Amino acid sequence: MKDSPRNANSLVILDFETTGLSPSMGDRAIEIGAVRIRDGKVIDSFQELMDPGFLVDAFIEGYTGITNDMLAEARTCEKVMKDFADYIGDDNLVAHNASFDKRFLDSEFEEIDHSYSGKFVCSMLLARRIYQDAPNHQLGTLVDYKNIPSDGNFHRALYDAEMTAQLWMRMLNDISGRVRSPAPTFEMVCKLTRTPKKMIESLLQNWQA
Protein backbone atom coordinates (compact mmCIF):
# COMPACT_ATOMS: atom_id res chain seq x y z
CA MET A 1 0.00 0.00 0.00
CA LYS A 2 1.70 3.21 -1.07
CA ASP A 3 -1.08 5.77 -1.34
CA SER A 4 0.23 8.10 1.32
CA PRO A 5 -0.69 11.78 1.20
CA ARG A 6 1.24 13.42 4.00
CA ASN A 7 0.76 16.16 6.52
CA ALA A 8 2.46 17.39 9.67
CA ASN A 9 0.66 14.83 11.82
CA SER A 10 1.98 11.81 9.92
CA LEU A 11 4.44 9.50 11.60
CA VAL A 12 5.96 6.30 10.18
CA ILE A 13 6.71 3.46 12.61
CA LEU A 14 9.19 1.01 11.08
CA ASP A 15 11.02 -2.20 11.84
CA PHE A 16 13.82 -4.04 10.03
CA GLU A 17 14.62 -7.73 10.06
CA THR A 18 18.30 -8.09 9.25
CA THR A 19 21.09 -10.61 8.79
CA GLY A 20 22.70 -9.48 12.05
CA LEU A 21 23.28 -6.57 14.36
CA SER A 22 25.69 -4.35 12.53
CA PRO A 23 25.77 -2.97 8.99
CA SER A 24 29.38 -1.96 9.66
CA MET A 25 30.15 -5.69 9.89
CA GLY A 26 28.47 -6.40 6.57
CA ASP A 27 24.96 -7.11 7.76
CA ARG A 28 22.04 -6.19 5.48
CA ALA A 29 18.31 -5.76 5.81
CA ILE A 30 16.13 -8.71 4.74
CA GLU A 31 12.68 -7.29 5.50
CA ILE A 32 11.16 -3.87 6.09
CA GLY A 33 7.78 -3.35 7.73
CA ALA A 34 6.16 -0.03 8.50
CA VAL A 35 2.85 1.59 9.29
CA ARG A 36 1.84 5.24 9.06
CA ILE A 37 -0.07 6.90 11.89
CA ARG A 38 -2.13 10.00 11.31
CA ASP A 39 -4.43 11.62 13.83
CA GLY A 40 -4.13 8.66 16.16
CA LYS A 41 -4.95 6.02 13.57
CA VAL A 42 -2.97 3.63 11.38
CA ILE A 43 -3.79 4.70 7.84
CA ASP A 44 -1.49 2.57 5.66
CA SER A 45 1.38 0.11 5.70
CA PHE A 46 4.48 -1.10 3.84
CA GLN A 47 6.04 -4.57 3.96
CA GLU A 48 8.48 -6.42 1.72
CA LEU A 49 11.21 -9.03 1.95
CA MET A 50 14.52 -8.21 0.27
CA ASP A 51 17.39 -10.28 -0.98
CA PRO A 52 20.64 -9.23 0.76
CA GLY A 53 22.78 -10.92 -1.88
CA PHE A 54 24.07 -13.70 0.37
CA LEU A 55 22.66 -16.56 2.44
CA VAL A 56 21.45 -15.80 5.95
CA ASP A 57 22.53 -18.11 8.74
CA ALA A 58 20.38 -20.65 10.54
CA PHE A 59 19.97 -18.46 13.60
CA ILE A 60 18.38 -15.66 11.58
CA GLU A 61 16.15 -18.14 9.74
CA GLY A 62 14.96 -19.50 13.06
CA TYR A 63 14.71 -16.14 14.78
CA THR A 64 12.68 -14.44 12.06
CA GLY A 65 11.08 -17.34 10.24
CA ILE A 66 12.46 -15.80 7.03
CA THR A 67 14.21 -18.53 5.05
CA ASN A 68 16.77 -18.37 2.28
CA ASP A 69 14.14 -19.87 -0.04
CA MET A 70 11.84 -16.93 0.72
CA LEU A 71 14.63 -14.42 0.12
CA ALA A 72 15.61 -16.05 -3.17
CA GLU A 73 12.30 -14.90 -4.58
CA ALA A 74 12.55 -11.39 -3.15
CA ARG A 75 13.64 -8.20 -4.91
CA THR A 76 17.04 -6.76 -4.05
CA CYS A 77 17.58 -4.44 -1.11
CA GLU A 78 18.24 -1.56 -3.48
CA LYS A 79 14.93 -1.91 -5.32
CA VAL A 80 12.90 -2.31 -2.15
CA MET A 81 14.58 0.57 -0.38
CA LYS A 82 13.89 2.91 -3.30
CA ASP A 83 10.19 2.19 -2.86
CA PHE A 84 10.49 2.55 0.89
CA ALA A 85 12.18 5.92 0.46
CA ASP A 86 9.14 7.05 -1.53
CA TYR A 87 6.86 5.65 1.16
CA ILE A 88 8.38 7.51 4.12
CA GLY A 89 8.91 10.76 2.25
CA ASP A 90 9.63 13.49 4.79
CA ASP A 91 7.66 11.94 7.64
CA ASN A 92 9.14 11.60 11.10
CA LEU A 93 10.10 8.07 12.10
CA VAL A 94 9.70 5.86 15.17
CA ALA A 95 11.26 2.49 15.97
CA HIS A 96 11.75 0.34 19.06
CA ASN A 97 15.42 0.77 19.92
CA ALA A 98 15.68 3.29 17.11
CA SER A 99 19.46 3.38 17.12
CA PHE A 100 19.42 -0.11 15.62
CA ASP A 101 16.89 0.58 12.85
CA LYS A 102 18.43 3.97 12.09
CA ARG A 103 21.82 2.38 11.45
CA PHE A 104 20.28 -0.01 8.93
CA LEU A 105 18.08 2.64 7.33
CA ASP A 106 21.07 4.95 6.92
CA SER A 107 23.21 2.13 5.57
CA GLU A 108 20.63 0.90 3.06
CA PHE A 109 19.81 4.44 1.95
CA GLU A 110 23.51 5.10 1.47
CA GLU A 111 23.57 2.18 -0.97
CA ILE A 112 20.99 3.97 -3.13
CA ASP A 113 22.42 7.45 -2.49
CA HIS A 114 19.30 8.64 -0.73
CA SER A 115 18.85 10.86 2.32
CA TYR A 116 15.76 11.68 4.36
CA SER A 117 14.72 14.69 6.39
CA GLY A 118 12.43 13.15 9.02
CA LYS A 119 13.53 12.94 12.65
CA PHE A 120 14.07 9.50 14.21
CA VAL A 121 12.74 8.86 17.71
CA CYS A 122 12.79 5.80 19.95
CA SER A 123 9.78 4.10 21.55
CA MET A 124 12.06 2.11 23.86
CA LEU A 125 13.63 5.20 25.41
CA LEU A 126 10.20 6.70 25.98
CA ALA A 127 8.95 3.42 27.50
CA ARG A 128 11.92 3.27 29.86
CA ARG A 129 10.91 6.68 31.19
CA ILE A 130 7.19 6.24 31.60
CA TYR A 131 6.94 2.49 32.35
CA GLN A 132 9.67 2.14 34.95
CA ASP A 133 7.80 -0.72 36.64
CA ALA A 134 7.70 -2.91 33.50
CA PRO A 135 9.60 -6.23 33.84
CA ASN A 136 11.84 -5.10 31.00
CA HIS A 137 11.50 -2.91 27.93
CA GLN A 138 11.55 -5.45 25.13
CA LEU A 139 8.75 -4.83 22.65
CA GLY A 140 6.90 -8.06 23.42
CA THR A 141 7.08 -7.49 27.16
CA LEU A 142 5.73 -3.95 26.84
CA VAL A 143 2.88 -5.13 24.61
CA ASP A 144 1.90 -7.63 27.31
CA TYR A 145 2.47 -5.09 30.09
CA LYS A 146 0.01 -2.67 28.49
CA ASN A 147 -2.48 -5.42 27.57
CA ILE A 148 -2.25 -4.57 23.88
CA PRO A 149 -3.98 -7.32 21.86
CA SER A 150 -1.34 -9.53 20.23
CA ASP A 151 -1.03 -13.00 18.76
CA GLY A 152 2.62 -13.16 19.82
CA ASN A 153 3.97 -13.43 16.28
CA PHE A 154 6.95 -11.14 16.88
CA HIS A 155 10.15 -10.90 14.85
CA ARG A 156 8.46 -10.19 11.53
CA ALA A 157 8.89 -6.62 10.39
CA LEU A 158 5.31 -5.57 9.74
CA TYR A 159 3.98 -7.21 12.89
CA ASP A 160 6.65 -5.61 15.06
CA ALA A 161 5.96 -2.24 13.41
CA GLU A 162 2.23 -2.64 14.07
CA MET A 163 2.85 -3.53 17.72
CA THR A 164 5.28 -0.63 18.09
CA ALA A 165 2.64 1.69 16.65
CA GLN A 166 0.04 0.46 19.13
CA LEU A 167 2.54 0.85 21.97
CA TRP A 168 3.49 4.34 20.78
CA MET A 169 -0.13 5.48 20.71
CA ARG A 170 -0.71 3.96 24.13
CA MET A 171 2.29 5.81 25.51
CA LEU A 172 1.07 9.10 24.09
CA ASN A 173 -2.31 8.47 25.65
CA ASP A 174 -0.69 7.72 29.02
CA ILE A 175 1.54 10.78 28.80
CA SER A 176 -1.49 12.97 28.21
CA GLY A 177 -2.82 11.88 31.59
CA ARG A 178 0.50 12.02 33.44
CA VAL A 179 1.90 15.45 32.70
CA ARG A 180 1.62 16.48 36.36
CA SER A 181 4.35 15.82 38.93
CA PRO A 182 5.55 13.41 40.32
CA ALA A 183 5.21 11.53 37.03
CA PRO A 184 7.77 12.53 34.39
CA THR A 185 6.75 15.90 33.01
CA PHE A 186 5.92 16.35 29.37
CA GLU A 187 8.99 18.50 28.87
CA MET A 188 11.12 15.91 30.66
CA VAL A 189 9.91 13.11 28.41
CA CYS A 190 10.61 15.16 25.29
CA LYS A 191 14.09 16.06 26.48
CA LEU A 192 15.16 12.67 27.77
CA THR A 193 13.88 10.77 24.75
CA ARG A 194 15.03 13.41 22.30
CA THR A 195 11.52 13.40 20.93
CA PRO A 196 10.62 16.68 19.23
CA LYS A 197 8.12 18.45 21.46
CA LYS A 198 6.04 19.60 18.51
CA MET A 199 5.69 16.00 17.33
CA ILE A 200 4.23 14.76 20.60
CA GLU A 201 2.12 17.90 21.03
CA SER A 202 0.69 17.44 17.56
CA LEU A 203 -0.06 13.77 18.05
CA LEU A 204 -1.62 14.36 21.47
CA GLN A 205 -3.78 17.13 20.04
CA ASN A 206 -5.03 14.80 17.37
CA TRP A 207 -5.17 11.67 19.47
CA GLN A 208 -8.46 9.83 19.17
CA ALA A 209 -8.92 7.28 21.94
8, 21, 55, 72: which one binds DNA (CB under 7 A): 21
Asked if the bond preceding 182 is cis, omega within 30° of 0, the reply is yes
In the region spanning residues 138 to 167, those forming contacts with DNA, defined by CB under 7 A, are 138-140, 155, 160
Q: Choose the stretch contacting DNA; rule: CB under 7 A; options: 38-46, 72-80, 82-90, 96-104.
A: 96-104
Please tell me whether residue 51 binds DNA under the rule CB under 7 A.
no
User: Of the listed pieces 37-45, 46-54, 55-63, 180-188, which binds DNA according to CB under 7 A?
Assistant: 55-63
By the 10 Å C-beta count (0-12 exposed, 13-18 middle, 19+ buried), 74 is classed as: middle
Q: Is 54 in the site for DNA (CB under 7 A)?
A: no
Q: Which is nearer to DNA, 55 or 58 (CB)?
A: 58
Binder to DNA among 192, 196, 197, 198 (CB under 7 A)?
192
Sketch the per residue contact string, 111 through 140, with DNA: x for CB under 7 A, - otherwise: -------------xx--xx------xxxxx
Whole-number Å distance between alpha carbons of 164 and 144: 12
Using CB under 7 A, pick the residue from 9, 68, 76, 97 that binds DNA: 97
- Decide the pairing of beta strands 11-18 and 120-122: unpaired
SS3 at position 205: helix
Edge-first strand order for the sheet with 75-76 is: 75-76, 41-51, 29-38, 11-18, 92-95, 120-122
Q: Is residue 40 involved in binding DNA (CB under 7 A)?
A: no
Alpha helix segments (H runs only) across 53-97 = 58-64, 68-72, 77-88
